Amino acid sequence: MKALVFNEFGNSDVLQYVDVPDATAQKGEILLSTTAIGLNFADIYRRKGNYHIVGEPPYVLGYEGAGVVVAIGEGVTEFAAGDRVAFVDVPLANAELVAVPVSKAIPIPAAIRDDVAASVLLQGLTASYLAKDSYAIKYGDVALVHAVAGGVGQMLTQIITSLGGQVIGLTSSEEKAEVARKLGAEEVLLYSDNWAEKLAGKIDVAYDSVGSTLMDSFSAVRDKGTVVFYGMSGGDPSAVDPRMLMDTSKTLTGGDLWSFLTSKDERIKRSHALFEMISSGKITVNQPRKFSLSEGKAAHDLLESRKSTGKILLIP
């Protein structure tokens, strides 16, 4: 089978599109012929060596995608050849064939295309737990969404508004701000604005995926408000003084998707709730930017440039 691999850590030049041994379905697994593979910043971090990666080279990136069942491993009764399946945390996905444990296989409803499923799972499930678990949005809540035009930001904006909340977004350019406005953000500020001062005390909850902005997020939220910290795209956050939390009755909570996808049933329940929001029109999924798997270098370069506003997919 063909796969996108690399043998040493580095920039996108290390990526190669080559033949590797076919993946096979072992006991408790199904084998998918991949139809769409999600590209995420975690893939870039692993390619650079910033994130831990197991095994020996050649390394195969990718953890998110969709495909069609072509083989069934021993003991599997829930799936049959031809079934459409998605996954969100299965390694070695940048390949024509991927072995998926049944415990991590997500059936794709008829109303959802493969490319949509591969576009929304990681970012959509993250947005969903942020708005419903980390801080449960109530009608009238004002939420500050960092990186509002990014994949999670776009989904989070729409989920918050569907729950009756209002979104104030933060982004890096006017072009990206317009994307967020079209998806329901009531106001969008640029990071170059003095946003923390402008918003001081006006925000009920801030969803901060930047990290280095954490203390500014605290400045924006009201007394008794909440900051949800779930990423560090801009660097490590400053230390938080617990006395500040006590004096202002503010809350700091962390967020990680894998704390919520704790079982097969939970994974399918949350995924299908997300699919239902899409099929019912509560969430609009912008057309993903598609590259062939052989064009992996160009796809990595685009994502790393931070000029993209939608999902990037690799198509085998």
Domain contains 22: yes
Give the pLDDT band of residue 54 (cuts 50, 70, 90). Answer: confident
Q: Which of the 8 DSSP states describes residue 257? A: G
- Average pLDDT, integer, range 15-33: 97
pLDDT at 48 over 80: yes
Are the beta carbons of 69 and 79 closer than 8 angstroms?
Answer: yes
Tell me: cis bond preceding 58? Omega within 30 of 0 counts. yes
Rounded CA-CA distance 267/260 in Å is 8
Co-location of 58 and 40 in the same domain: yes
Co-location of 241 and 277 in the same domain: no
- The enclosing domain of 220 has a CATH number of 3.40.50.720
Co-location of 98 and 166 in the same domain: no
Co-location of 167 and 229 in the same domain: yes
Structure tokens at 298: 């160009």
Domain contains 127: no
Residue the block writes with tokens 């007394």: 223
Co-location of 248 and 225 in the same domain: yes
Co-location of 99 and 28 in the same domain: yes
Domain contains 116: yes
The last residue of a domain, from among 205, 236, 254: 254
What is the number of other CB atoms lying within 10 angstroms of the CB of residue 12?
A: 18
Could you read off the pLDDT of 222-258 as tens digits, one per residue? 999 999 999 888 888 999 999 999 999 999 999 999 9
Q: In the predicted model, what is the mean pLDDT of the chain?
A: 95
Give the pLDDT band of residue 52 (cuts 50, 70, 90). Answer: confident
- Give this prediction's pTM: 0.92
Rounded CA-CA distance 20/13 in Å is 19
Could you read off the pLDDT of 57-90 as tens digits, one per residue? 999 999 999 999 999 999 999 999 999 999 999 9
Long-range contacts of 262-271 (CB under 8 A, 24+ apart): 264/102, 264/103, 264/104, 267/88, 267/104, 267/106, 268/106, 268/107, 270/125, 270/128, 270/129, 271/86, 271/88, 271/106, 271/121, 271/125
Give the pLDDT band of residue 214 (cuts 50, 70, 90). Answer: very high
Domain contains 128: no
pLDDT score for 7: 95
Co-location of 224 and 242 in the same domain: yes
Domain count, the chain: 2
Co-location of 16 and 33 in the same domain: yes
- The enclosing domain of 274 has a CATH number of 3.90.180.10
Give the pLDDT band of residue 307 (cuts 50, 70, 90). Answer: confident
What proportion of the chain, given as a percentage, has pLDDT over 70?
Answer: 100
Domain contains 310: yes
Rounded CA-CA distance 221/10 in Å is 39
Co-location of 116 and 143 in the same domain: no
Q: List the domain range (segments joined by +) for residue 214.
A: 135-254
Domain contains 272: yes
Co-location of 196 and 244 in the same domain: yes
pLDDT score for 234: 84
